Amino acid sequence: MKYGVIGTGAIGGYYGARLAHSGQEVHFLLHSDYEHVRQHGLRVLSPQGNFHLSQPHIYKDARDMPQCDVVLVGLKTTNNHLLAQLLPPLLHSRTLVLLIQNGIGVEADVQQMFPGLWLAAGLAFICSAKTEPGVVNHQFYGSLNIGNYSCTDSKLIDQLLDELHAADIEAKSLEYEKARWRKAVWNMPYNGMTVALNCQTRDLMTQPDSRRLIYEQMLEVCNAATALGVQGVDEAFAQKMMQMTDDMVPYSPSMRLDWDFHRPMEIQYLYTRPLQMARQAGCPMPRLEMLEAELRFMEAQKTS
């Protein structure tokens, strides 16, 4: 298939580069590091083996990109308003758009922008960062869960999974709501806590008080998901996420990097939307509501 990547950062850059390295035709939209990648290519540093795309298909303007069968969106959700201009040149009547983004409610809002567009959620369990032009630093994990939101062609999803596997990416299909809320079990505690406490994941796990708070926050997400009728997001899964984080290298999640590099934080979809849904279901998340308030305060102080 022909792939497009909008948001060639730590996530879109990693999965797009792996697909290109495996022989797929991948077209990357770049912004600030376009000239660097044009001259030096795109490099991935990974414990699975480093590799270099010397002449990737790159573009400064989405209007110059071809129509694609699958578009990977790795933009921050704070930039989703740009999709109204960025997506249309890449679309044909059967294009699948995979939103590899954080939070709850993303697909519903993008579907309002593009009624009839085939959408799926991409839930990345990965430690990856892009802190210099043209270099993706993949540190740990790398699996990708696909939650079909509105694609009516199951064979297209199957083909995507096959091509991800061929690119040495662990990928599987999950029921959409289950996929989104499972990712929230990890995302909601660690993203905000590393910002609020100015630390990395390992610090939170080695201090008994913060470790207990992280687990209690995870259980709040699990209880909210259950109240909303989502199956398979339970205490056993929370324990699995704790163990996974214990096994990780010390890591700064995406929100911590956004804070460090003075970018807007993704509070709306990571916190506000799921917290609203939980309250409406009669299962509020008080610890995470407090964390959201702290993040809103910090964001306001930064911009005042």
Look-up of token digits 């495996």: 22
The active-site residue, picked from 130, 183, 240, 302, is 183
* Coil, strand or helix at 281: coil
For residue 130, indicate whether it is catalytic.
no
Chain-centre distance for alpha carbon 277: 20
User: Does residue 42 contact residue 52 with C-beta atoms inside 8 Å?
Assistant: yes
Are the C-beta atoms of residues 139 and 251 closer than 8 Å to each other? yes
Question: Residue 206 contacts by C-beta under 8 Å, 6 or more apart in sequence?
Answer: none
CB atoms within 10 A of CB 296: 14
Contact 85, 95 (CB under 8 A): no
Residue 176 half-sphere exposure, CB side, CA atoms within 13 Å? 15
Block residue for tokens 């199956």: 231
One-letter amino acid of 273? R
Whole-Å CA distances, 153 to 71, 149, 157, 200, 274: 15, 11, 7, 41, 28
Question: Cα(first)–Cα(last) distance of the chain, in Å?
Answer: 47
Catalytic residues: 183
